[in-house]
Amino acid sequence: MGYISKNIGFVSTRFSGTDGVTLEASKWADVFTKNGHNCFWFAGKLDRDMEKSLLVPEAYFKHEKNQWINEQILGKKRRNPSVTQAIHELRSRLKLKLHEFINNFNIDLLIAENVLTIPMHVPLGLALTEIVAETQMPTISHNHDFYWERVRFSVNAVNDYLRMAFPPNLPNIKHVVINSEAQEQLAHRTGISSTIVPNVIDFDNPPSFDAEGAMAFRESIGLESDDRMILQPTRIIRRKGIEYAVELIKELKDPRNKLIVSHEAGDEGHEYAEWLKDYAREHDVDLRLVATQIADPWAGNGNSKAGYSLWDVYPFADFITYPSLYEGFGNAFLEAIYFKKPILINRYATFVRDIEPLGFDITVMDGFLTKKTVKKIKLILESSERREQMVNYNYKIAARHYSYSVLCNQLNAVLCSFFGDSVIQLSGAMQFFENNAHLDIEPHQVEYQYLDN
């Protein structure tokens, strides 16, 4: 029996840069493409291959039409009829564009990346829900976080639309969540069942990187050869808790330590970034916010104009800070483990429930930074032997629980529910590993040419 490849259409408001939704969509596309499927992109902001994309500016959550709508519906309980009309006019426009996307690329499967969960773009969520209901197109709703998890959506004038489309309960949609709390809340609030697929990285293939590019990145932000790069690899938004990283640098009391924040500000305004600069100055901490755009390393064939990739940022980091107050999962955690870097974690809820029980050897804080925690980090920074021991141990744990093979196994079940046994199955390098468990080898010691079969 021949196996059939599928044309897979990813839909969101943005596939650009290094936000968590963009990165995970890119990893999914990487797995699909390596296994013979074809991936296409629909969004309002894109850094993908434009020959495989449909760019619709009105689909971007920061488009002026959508921003005006959000100003009228968030933080308010009453909706003016003119706002309803504006929502449906934009919904109608986006619906036509979604039809164009599906028809132009002969899409077999839609993957909605957080566009049916967080109501940052209500018209797009409504348009996609109607398309899916009318066409009965097989659809995966990849739900990174939900509106009920965000205070800013708790008062709104669109509860009717939220019940309809954020998320929709339709028989041809399979819902995927990234943590166990989201799975429970989704079932409790909506009656929708879902599959947990955690964020992943290709741990079976350790990172390769451009040493010259990485060194150029250090030089571009003004670091001297003996400076320590303490990296905060997140967007500059309040829930990332970056002030704790500032506090850590202050307590370490070593002028060699420079705090580098690699991602951009702006998704939730610039006030927090300005406050952070003042806070660092008050505590005599050398804080450097990277001005240049950082690219998604999984979108290498796209049209990104960014000067550097995430893979240029991590290699020369000496320590990673990740004191987030809340995360749906935590990409920066996996990236730090992947690049074998020691890390400080604030014990956010998903970490405590889903990640910490796996036994990673990392430094943690619990809402505040103690002298004991600072002392542990000092020892890690001073002892190469301690760093080597912990990062190698962590890599082994992550390779078993957060590799591409985990993603492949979960997605195969979803694909079979839609298309039966005829569809090309996804495979990951870990399957080789499992089939050769009798051999005394580690993932990083294996060459993976067999993946090209």
Please report, for the domain that includes residue 181, its CATH number: 3.40.50.2000
User: Residue 167: is the preceding peptide bond cis (ω within 30°)?
Assistant: yes
pLDDT, residue 270, reads 81
pLDDT, residue 365, reads 96
- Asked whether residue 438 is domain-assigned, the answer is no
Residues 164 and 219 in one domain: no
pLDDT, residue 437, reads 43
Residues 47 and 160 in one domain: yes
Residues 320 and 392 in one domain: yes
- Asked whether residue 436 is domain-assigned, the answer is no
- Asked whether residue 112 is domain-assigned, the answer is yes
- Model pTM greater than 0.95? no
Does residue 156 contact residue 69 with C-beta atoms inside 8 Å?
A: no
* CA-atom Rg of the chain in angstroms: 22
Distance of alpha carbon 91 from alpha carbon 89, whole angstroms:
5
pLDDT, residue 242, reads 93
pLDDT, residue 62, reads 94
- Asked whether residue 443 is domain-assigned, the answer is no
pLDDT, residue 453, reads 26
Residues 262 and 153 in one domain: no
pLDDT, residue 135, reads 96
Q: Please say which residue of 155, 173, 196 terminates a domain.
A: 196
- Asked whether residue 288 is domain-assigned, the answer is yes
Q: Which domain holds residue 382?
A: 211-401
- Asked whether residue 72 is domain-assigned, the answer is yes
Q: Hey, what are 232's tokens?
A: 């905060």
Q: Please say which residue of 372, 401, 430 terminates a domain.
A: 401
- Asked whether residue 449 is domain-assigned, the answer is no
Residues 140 and 50 in one domain: yes
Residues 192 and 224 in one domain: no
Distance of alpha carbon 90 from alpha carbon 68, whole angstroms:
12
- Asked whether residue 36 is domain-assigned, the answer is yes
pLDDT, residue 313, reads 82
Burial of 277 (0-12, 13-18, 19+ CB in 10 A): middle
Q: Please say which residue of 401, 419, 442 terminates a domain.
A: 401
Encoded amino acid at 139, one letter: T
pLDDT, residue 267, reads 58
pLDDT, residue 304, reads 52
Residues 187 and 217 in one domain: no
How far is residue 168 from each of residues 140, 171, 195, measured CA to CA in Å? 11, 10, 16
Residues 42 and 117 in one domain: yes
Residues 23 and 78 in one domain: yes
Residues 41 and 190 in one domain: yes
Residues 176 and 305 in one domain: no
Per-residue pLDDT of the chain (453 residues; tens, 9 = 90+): 457 899 999 999 999 877 889 989 999 999 999 999 999 999 999 999 999 999 999 999 999 999 999 999 999 999 999 999 999 999 999 999 999 999 999 999 999 999 999 999 999 999 999 999 999 999 999 999 999 998 889 999 999 999 999 999 999 999 999 999 999 999 999 999 999 999 999 998 888 777 776 677 788 788 888 899 999 988 888 889 999 999 999 999 999 999 998 876 665 668 888 999 999 999 999 998 875 566 667 665 444 555 677 777 888 899 999 999 988 888 889 999 999 999 999 999 999 999 999 999 999 999 999 999 999 999 999 999 999 999 999 999 999 999 999 999 999 999 999 999 888 889 865 443 443 343 333 433 333 222 232
Instruction: Provide the number of structural domains found in the chain.
Output: 2
Residues 225 and 190 in one domain: no
Q: In angstroms, how far is the first alpha carbon of the chain from the final one?
A: 17
